[in-house]
Amino acid sequence: MSDVISTEGLGMPVEVGAIDGQLKKLWEADEASTNASLMNFLVYTEDPTQLVKNSETIQELTREHACRAVLIAMDRGAEKSSLQAWITAHCHLAHGKKSICSEQISFLLSGYSMGRLRNTVFAHLNSDLPLVFWWQGEFSDLFEERLYRLLDRLIFDSATWSDPKANFQQLIEAREDTKGEMVTQDLSWTRSYFYRLAVARLFDDPRAQQAFPHIEKVMVKAHPDHRMAALLLLAWVITRAGWKVESGQGSEWTATSREGNQISINLEWDEDAAPLAELSMSAPGCEVRISREKGNSHLCQSVCADGHCVELSGPADSDDPEGLVASQLSRGGKNSLYLHVLPRFGELLEMGH
């Protein structure tokens, strides 16, 4: 497979043992540029056709996030073992003057891989900087303790998983093994960030606050490829409201509020919709609604109570993973709210099968 993989744009091919020396020469030859790094940013994929695209992503990310970037593509189906490497730098002007540059080292590993990921690649990290690891796709057997114990921050996207239950179990075991020191960031959770802010904003309205204990129906509409984002948003609503999920099947659940009222919860799918297209909560005489048209960069927000409506607008989250990663890097944090929501999310995921 590796003989048909594009490597155009990855920079200068180098022998693995010569990487550090060649990087030094790279900077010595360009006195007008400054090498800057705030973190090690490692992007891992077991789809080697994504290597060039990941390099293009780093080019954009380093506009705001200086780093030493290490890209790893693993061609595990190759018959012969091999290791190729390239180096380059992504440079951006700072204040219209001197350019600030971030190093990038790219690796293509083919064939038998156990041990080579750690031994070869991790030898080229800047040991003084935190390690942010973006794992693309399903967790494989290479996601094991000698790897994840080295990570400060793990980024992944549960939308890409064909078996969410198995992958979440691997994630939970990894967090337990690291005693919670590894920060976990799910891009499917990031997709609902501005929806969650909008809910908090709309329920600042006194009439919405009065109606909240009497909510009877909650509905989320989403693209079918983003079921995880929809379930996580619902789990957040249920957790924050203090509701208890009583039963469910498919995309419908019944919950009970703290006041003992029954709430109908529904998921709707639309292949022509944005990843998250709508969240609505209804009580007698009151509806809170947040929606987004596909491709629109803003959320439409409204509170309608007793015939009186207040309409607002706010930003929406990025559709593409690259934009979501950039947002996540900007916000940082421990992501403790995500962990708090996971038990309710697990209930919805289990009942939905």
Domain ranges, ordered by start, for the chain: 2-187, 190-351
Q: Is pLDDT above 60 for 1?
A: no
Q: Is pLDDT above 80 for 43?
A: yes
Of the pLDDT bands very low, low, confident and very high (cuts 50, 70, 90), residue 4 is low
Residue 95 vs residue 281, higher pLDDT: 281
Residue 194 vs residue 146, higher pLDDT: 194
What are the pLDDT digits (tens) for 109-119? Answer: 998 766 777 77
What are the pLDDT digits (tens) for 202-243? Answer: 999 999 999 999 999 999 999 999 999 999 999 999 999 999
What type of residue is 132? V
pLDDT of residue 78: 87
* 323 within 8 A of 315, measured Cβ to Cβ: no
141: number of CA atoms within 13 Å, CB side?
5
Of the pLDDT bands very low, low, confident and very high (cuts 50, 70, 90), residue 92 is confident
Q: Which phi and psi (to 5°) does residue 185 adopt?
A: -135, 110
Calculate what percentage of the chain has a pLDDT beyond 90.
73
Alpha carbons 228 and 341: distance in angstroms, whole number: 13
Calculate what percentage of the chain has a pLDDT beyond 70.
96
* Selection from 142-156, 214-228, 244-258 with the highest mean pLDDT: 214-228
Of the pLDDT bands very low, low, confident and very high (cuts 50, 70, 90), residue 278 is very high
Strands 153-156 and 131-135: what pairing? parallel
Alpha carbons 257 and 213: distance in angstroms, whole number: 7
pLDDT of residue 343: 93
Torsion angle of C-alpha atoms 268, 270, 274, 275, degrees rounded to 10: 60
What are the pLDDT digits (tens) for 10-35? Answer: 989 999 889 989 988 887 777 656 77
* 109 within 8 A of 16, measured Cβ to Cβ: no
For the chain, the C-alpha Rg in angstroms (whole number) is 23
Of the pLDDT bands very low, low, confident and very high (cuts 50, 70, 90), residue 2 is very low
Average confidence (pLDDT) over 125-136: 92
Average confidence (pLDDT) over 277-288: 97
The whole-chain average pLDDT of the chain stands at: 91
Q: Where are the alpha helices (DSSP H) in the chain?
A: 19-28, 51-61, 116, 145-148, 164-177, 187-190, 193-202, 206-211, 227-241, 321-331, 336-351
Average confidence (pLDDT) over 42-66: 93
* 335 within 8 A of 185, measured Cβ to Cβ: yes
Q: 85-99, 144-158, 173-187, 276-290: lowest mean pLDDT where?
A: 85-99
* 238 within 8 A of 344, measured Cβ to Cβ: yes
For the domain covering 190-351, report its CATH number: 3.30.360.10
